[in-house]
Amino acid sequence: LETYFPHELADHYKIATTGRLSAIDHPEIERYTRYCYREIFRQCPDLDGLYFNFESAPDAAEHVLATAVPELNQLARKPILVFRLWGFRKPEGMRRIMRAYRGRVILGHKIADTNDTYYLPVADSRVREWKKLLGKKTEWMFLVGPCHNCGTNLCDQLWGDYAFVQEILADARAKGADSISFHTVNEFFAPDADAAAPPAKRKIATRPK
């Protein structure tokens, strides 16, 4: 989830935009966003959680505190909130969100963040700094794969190397990872040829114990 809103809303209330319909402070946008959170869980009551991306609204702690937190705190079953920290640079803002929300919060960080590190089996070390600021009990998820690193063009090579994968995951755990979110380039850019095969011919690759 981000702070996007429709053109019709901007036109109706004459909200000036810069072309991208996000990261704009306006009471009608907050009202609309709160409505969206209510409607999501009215239509999908079994939904377990939501994933927040601050890429189009950097450091949007105030927006989350004014919209998502009060609406989701009213639900009988509190959804899990996963906050991806790309674009979020203010630990105090995240601390306020975590204190205000009465449900479970997971913070997500890219396992490799810049193009000079993606080919190394080393997890980004800034998670340790976040842990110092937010507390050791903060739950952390490392994000692995395209869109969560800069090695999309080399994904098949990087993640096809068993030793590489094991080493970078071990380093992530050593730096405080509680969970790992995997993405692969094939899921985004290639047809799923295996899904088209007859069921009897489908194979699941496994590694011997």
At 109, which helix (H) or strand (E)?
A: strand 105-110
Q: Which residues partner with 51 through β-bridges? A: 82
Alpha-carbon distance of 201 to 111, in angstroms, equals 35
Q: Is the pLDDT of residue 139 over 90?
A: yes
Give pTM, 2 decimals.
Answer: 0.80
Q: How many CA atoms lie within 13 A of 48 on its CB side?
A: 2
Structure confidence at residue 118 as a pLDDT band (50, 70, 90): confident
CB of 183 closer than 8 Å to CB of 144: yes
Interior angle at CA 46, CA 146 and CA 70, nearest 5? 85
Closest CA to 119 of 153, 170, 73: 153
Note the pLDDT tens digit of each residue in 69-112. 999 999 999 999 999 998 899 999 999 999 999 999 999 988 88
- Give the CA-trace dihedral at 95, 101, 105, 111, to 10 degrees: -40
Q: Across the chain, which distance is largest between two alpha carbons, in Å?
A: 62
Q: What is the pLDDT of residue 155?
A: 66
DSSP string, 117-180: TTTSS---THHHHHHHHH-TT-EEEEEESTTSSS-GGGHHHHTT-HHHHHHHHHHHHHTT-SEE
36: its two tokens: 């969206």
